[in-house]
Amino acid sequence: MPQSEEQLQNLRHSLAHLLAAAVMKLWPDTKRTIGPAIDDGFYFDFEFGKPITERDLPKIEKQMRKMLPTWDKFERHELDADQAKKEYPGNEYKHELIDEFAKEGQKVSFYKSGDYWDLCRGGHVASMKEIDPGGFKLDRLAGAYWRGDEKNTMLTRIYGLAFPSKIDLDAYLVMREEAKKRDHKILGPKLDLFTFSDLVGAGLPLFTPKGTMVRDVLNEFVWELRKARGYESVDIPHIAKKDLYEKSGHWSKFSNELFRITTREGHIFAMKPMNCPHHIQIFARKQWSFRELPQRYASTTKIYRDEQTGELSGLSRVRSITQDDAHVFCRQNQVQKEISKIWDIIDEFYKPLGFELEVHLSRRDPNQPEKYLGTNHQWQGSENALKTEMLSRKVWREENDKIGEAAFYGPKIDFLAKDSLHRQWQLATIQLDFNQPERFNLTFVNQKGEKERIVMIHAAIMGSIERFMSILIEHYAGAFPIWLAPVQVAVLPISEKVTSYSKKIYEALLTKDVRVELDDRNESIGKKIRDAEMQKLPYMLVLGEKEQAANTVNVRKRGERDQHSQSIDEFLFELKAAIASKKTS
């Protein structure tokens, strides 16, 4: 039974082959295209002669189960391009892929199990006998353009779920049902946190006052932690000349994702896809001495990516992305200390959010040094600094040492957070960069009076704030902890007789910087309480003539039926203490 992530991916990819074999058995004239493993299973894209529906999925799944016992090992075969094309008469999709392999001078590899074989790079189970028949099921149909390009043919995508065992599959299905109830695309608008407008455009979220409040609280928390560790706030424009991104390499790297602007004078600009080139230009304004380092710059600002419409999803995948971005410019011998500072920020930020963090180190493949920029001294020093920090914090795990997974420009640490549904998200990052200092010739004058190359560290705490908010909404099911809630207290008068008293309580809370709403609608107290509960507000103060006479408030806490009376001063003292402590609930 597969245990590692690689084994699980191999299982899922193997089942994609089985799915394609079942479809070809049932509809022999179908054109098959590609079928990769994905996070919860697999999919395969087909061009059917006649459309199929979700009612056909049980039939396909039955055929898969019928064929499974007849499959065993995957055998690899290699053909040249002309021979390979003969295996797919009339299938322009496979021919396109084969032509691409041929251009790269590669032999075309096929894998065979049972009576089915297909074009494939590999990555399968050692034997299909190790697959639990109860661990997979077909899930749904969707439309998908060939190669993700809407100018191409629309294909039929069949999704499947796959896990090591039926127990794992059933647990995933239970979790997914719970996740549907927490879907930020439903909860966000329902809680009045954000909206979208057809006139503004897809992938461009609009945050309401409540949603903006949550963003501001998060961002201020990050800034408070950074400021205490010597970071300085800088402000940068949202556009720049083409020249900047050509020099940084982003013009070619993000070529298809750039929003381009041509001025009336014919100059070419782009909406920034990254913030680092701007921060670099701030650093490059003067020649720095070793005594003046490190320099630490931070901005919370937007970047822009021209994502394809079909890839957009709520706040998870957008075109305008707000990043809490910071860059440190330092000497090689300062790297360890700066990593430690960033890590402290990450720990302090995530602790009150209730996430479990897992830490991965991505480093270069020592057997292929030619693939990476930077000197051996830089790589060894930086990787050792990252690993030393992991060891000192007792989070080093051999299985999280990702050799060969570093970017070509430097090693990094990724922080993966597990949410309340046990889903794992890659969030914070500490990334070392040897590429940009080289491209922009960033130097400092060392103790010998010689110019020496700067080391640059990218640090994101939340990453994309939009994506981070989508995760938080689902993590809390919209019931934000008191310190983060956009509205912390609802004041609910029972009748008009206590309107004046209710306003007095409301203003007392307001003057103490409590985020409070007064519900003075002409509605029953039952409806006001239900509405406050639907908005998942942490506290309700129910005020009637009894409270007015005693100069007290009747406190009702989210998730609790019991109510109790307190003076407003007592309530405020407890409330402010709870907010200051940043409790997770």
Helix (H, G, I), strand (E, B) or coil at 573: helix
Q: Are 137 and 40 in contact (CB under 8 A)?
A: no
Q: Is 418 among the catalytic positions?
A: no
Q: Name the token pair of 69.
A: 């016992």
Please state, in angstroms and rounded to a whole number, the distance separating the CA atoms of residues 495 and 521.
9
Q: Is 412 among the catalytic positions?
A: yes
Q: Name the token pair of 251.
A: 């013009």
Q: Name the token pair of 248.
A: 């940084």
Helix (H, G, I), strand (E, B) or coil at 272: coil
Please state, in angstroms and rounded to a whole number, the distance separating the CA atoms of residues 386 and 400.
13
Catalytic annotation, pick one of 13, 305, 319, 515:
305
Q: Say which DSSP state 286 is in.
A: S
Please state, in angstroms and rounded to a whole number, the distance separating the CA atoms of residues 482 and 495.
27
Q: Is 216 among the catalytic positions?
A: no
Strand 31-32 and strand 41-47: the pairing is antiparallel
Catalytic annotation, pick one of 31, 32, 210, 327:
327
Q: Is 325 among the catalytic positions?
A: yes
Q: Name the token pair of 207.
A: 């945050």
Q: Name the token pair of 566.
A: 């307190």
Kind plus residue range of the DSSP H or E element containing 425: strand 424-433
Q: Which residues pair with residue 78 across a beta bridge?
A: 109
Residue 318 — φ and ψ, nearest 5°? -130, 175
Q: Is 305 among the catalytic positions?
A: yes
Catalytic annotation, pick one of 124, 341, 412, 536:
412
- Does 377 carry a binding-site annotation? no
- Does 475 carry a binding-site annotation? no
Which residue in 93, 478, 476, 470 sits closest to 312, CA to CA? 470
98-126 burial, b if ≥16 CB within 10 A, otherwise e?
Answer: beebbeeeeebebbbbbebbbbbeebbbe
Tokens 């993966």 sit on residue: 416
Q: In what order do the strands lie in the sheet with 443-445?
A: 288-289, 443-445, 451-453
Catalytic annotation, pick one of 324, 325, 414, 419:
325
Catalytic annotation, pick one of 63, 323, 431, 535:
323
Nearby residues of 561 by Cβ (< 8 Å), 6 or more positions away? none
Task: Summarize the chain as % helix, strand, coil (round to 5).
Answer: 40, 25, 30
Q: Is 323 among the catalytic positions?
A: yes
Please state, in angstroms and rounded to a whole number, the distance separating the CA atoms of residues 21 and 27.
10
DSSP strand E in 305-351: where?
320-330
Cβ count near 280 (within 10 Å): 23
Distances (CA, A) of 508 to 425, 491, 515, 541: 40, 11, 11, 13
Residue 173 — φ and ψ, nearest 5°? -65, -40
Catalytic annotation, pick one of 276, 341, 419, 528:
276
Q: Are 334 and 319 in contact (CB under 8 A)?
A: no
557-581 burial, b if ≥16 CB within 10 A, otherwise e?
Answer: ebeeeeeeebebeebbeebeebbee
Q: Is 414 among the catalytic positions?
A: no
- Does 276 carry a binding-site annotation? yes
Distances (CA, A) of 122 to 125, 162, 163, 246, 418: 10, 18, 19, 36, 30
For the chain, state the CA radius of gyration: 28
Q: Which residues are annotated as a binding site for Zn(2+)?
A: 276, 327, 458
Q: Which residues are annotated as a binding site?
A: 276, 327, 458
Active site residues: 276, 305, 323, 325, 327, 412, 458
